Structure 1
Amino acid sequence: MTDRELDAAGITDPALRAAYTHCRRLNARHGRTYFLATRLLPVERRPAVHALYGFARWADDIVDSLDDPRTHPERRAALARLENRLERGLRAGAPADEPVVLALADTAARYGIDHRHFTDFMASMRSDLHVTHYPTYDDLLGYMHGSAAVIGLQMLPVLGTVVPREEAAPHAAALGVAFQLTNFLRDVGEDLDRDRVYLPGDLLRAHGVDRALLLRTRASGRPDRRVTAALRAAEDLTRRVYRTAAPGLAMLDPLSRPCVRTAFVLYGAILDAIAADGYRVLHRRAVVPRRRRAVVALDGLARLAASRAGARRLHRAPAHRAPAAARFAVSGGPAPEEAV
């Protein structure tokens, strides 16, 4: 993590600075889309986002790192150790030799993040040790509350809002779910190799698809029309969740909005890439072209510049002009949900 980010966030303790820097490296290495979007945040808020992502990444790596997520004792023990360290860290300050937990505990304290979000997250991580499929979409939603929706809720205090936080919360939770559904669709082949199916069973059954057919299709290397229809339905479901999340973009602090909007567009572009590749996700991972990523990033930079300029004008404007200036700062140009 750059010294500028840490200095702007008021993080002076050497152990904390090292912990946040470690989390930033995790973000940069594992979350290309997310890391790119994070660069559009106000500099003082970036360390907190890296801490939140770093912790989620660390837990997810534990779940996915060994061969059999259902039976391997080392995996269970590692997750239990992490949960114990998390509990102690949130309660009384994490030990300095656990940088991810140290940074997370500091972020939770600085921004007043509800500890239940972390508890719910760990519950979903534990379920990954023995649950390999979800019979219905409601079952999957129960899992995603802890694995994805709470990530959006954790982020909300860091991002800031222009409305009461509870008004923005359902949209933030939906965005976390939309991002994870996108990952599930992109990674369906890789997840199948880990003996996991994160597409809801009722959606698959509606198109005559089961695990056996998914396995045969992956092994054959050839598409199956039933599988393709199910994957297209999963894309439609995911896009509906994005539409639920979209109104929340305008509820965010204008200075945070370009970051979240960029992530919104880039993750949506993954769905575009999946469709353009003929839903061949059982055989290869769909990738957003580098040029598209660059265009979205440049648009995010332009929106960030407009938001900062609006904030400066608002700061300088006479009190009676503040509402108009505030509206400009909030919009930063077209409303984000209209421009997506």
Structure 2
Amino acid sequence: MTAPTIEQAYATCEDITRTEARNFYWGIRLLTRQRRSALCAVYALARRVDDIGDGDLPVEEKAARLETVRKELAALDRSTDPVMVAVADAARRYPVPLEAFEELLDGVWMDIEGRRYGTFDELTEYCRCVAGSIGRLCLGVFGHRPHPRAAHYADALGIALQQTNILRDIREDLLNGRIYLPEEDLDAFGVDLRIDHGALADPDGGLANLIRHSAARAREWYADGLRLGPLLDRRSGACCLAMAGIYRQLLERIAEQPSAVYDKRLSLSGREKLGVAVRALGGRAA
């Protein structure tokens, strides 16, 4: 296979991002051209890994495909795959921590093997693998003023976003045989996760209380992670605020009305996402 040009490789990644990144693209489009291309490359590879985990293939085939990605990362400069070519170029231009992709692969394997989480600390480790890794990859593209906790803030922001995803997707995940809410929390709030007539059952309000409790905990991770903003330049900071703002607004909507996620997948409208992006350009979080 003939290797694509760098321009062709980035164009492939931007097409993937534009099509698939329903929330992230609102932030990515605020970056300068070069940084936007690099972040699209990061997203395209992360999406490929996620799709392996979420696909309908047998476990053995999923494991083989994850291993293929690991091998391609180890031989990145020799790849002719457009996404890998773009990632390799992005890593030459910016200090992208490629080892974070290894963490993402580990996290997706947790999904494939159907891991359950007994405690919130165990869930946090999963979130760190699948989302904190993305935060640190983004930070490599953004660049930042020197600060000893910059990577920690990026990690925390990714974990906050993943906690929001988990609350939004409780029903969808349960239908797919996955439960992310920690067993200790389910027990504490007396929740037996099940679907009743197409919706999450919550006969005594315990699930609603658990969701509000989890949202309050996620807010603490957002507060920590958003300390990253002042360390970034204006355009990168706007991108960060837009990404976080969309998910944080979604979190508040879920916390206000937990039952909104009982029978559907909640999302913000395009107009609402645009409003978040505009405020982010002005340096304001949603």
Aligned counterpart for 1:178 among listed residues 151, 160, 171? 160
Q: Which runs of 5+ in 1 are unaligned?
A: 1-12, 304-331
CA-based RMSD of the aligned residues comes to 2.1
1:216 CA drift (Å): 3.9
State which structure, 1 or 2, has the greater radius of gyration over its C-alpha atoms: 1
1:127 CA drift (Å): 2.0
Instruction: In structure 2, give the amino acid aligned to 1:15.
Output: T
Instruction: In structure 1, give the amino acid aligned to 2:162.
Output: Q
Aligned counterpart for 2:79 among listed residues 76, 83, 95? 95
Q: Please state if 1:278 is matched with 2:258.
A: yes
Mapped to 1, the partners of 2:254 and 2:168 lie a distance apart of 7
Mapped to 1, the partners of 2:27 and 2:78 lie a distance apart of 28
In structure 1, the residue matched to 2:247 is 267
Q: TM-score, length-normalised on structure 1? A: 0.77
| 1:189–1:218 Cα contact (<8 Å) kept | no
Q: Please state if 1:20 is matched with 2:2.
A: no
Aligned counterpart for 2:22 among listed residues 13, 32, 46? 32
In structure 1, the residue matched to 2:116 is 133
In structure 2, the residue matched to 1:84 is 71
Mapped to 1, the partners of 2:126 and 2:75 lie a distance apart of 24
| 2:238–2:277 Cα contact (<8 Å) kept | no
1:175 CA drift (Å): 0.5
Structure 1 window deviating more from structure 2 (191-200 vs 288-297): it is 288-297
Q: How does 1:5-154 map to 2 (within 5 A)?
A: 15-66=5-56, 72-89=59-76, 93-96=77-80, 98-154=81-137
In structure 2, the residue matched to 1:237 is 217
Mapped to 1, the partners of 2:42 and 2:199 lie a distance apart of 40
Mapped to 1, the partners of 2:224 and 2:272 lie a distance apart of 24
Deviations 1:56-114 (A, max 9, x none): 111000110116xxx5322222222222212221xxx1421x22222112212221323
Instruction: In structure 2, give the amino acid aligned to 1:294.
Output: L
Deviations 1:233-263 (A, max 9, x none): 1111111111111221111122311111111
In structure 1, the residue matched to 2:179 is 197
1:185 CA drift (Å): 1.0
What is the percent sequence identity of the aligned residues?
Answer: 31
The structure with higher relative contact order (CA 8 Å, sep 6+) is: 2
In structure 2, the residue matched to 1:214 is 193
In structure 1, the residue matched to 2:271 is 291
Q: Please state if 1:256 is matched with 2:236.
A: yes
| 1:218–1:282 Cα contact (<8 Å) kept | no
Deviations 1:206-246 (A, max 9, x none): 1012xxx2124574555431111111111111111111112
Deviating 4+ runs (over 6 angstroms): none
Q: Which runs of 5+ in 2 are unaligned?
A: none
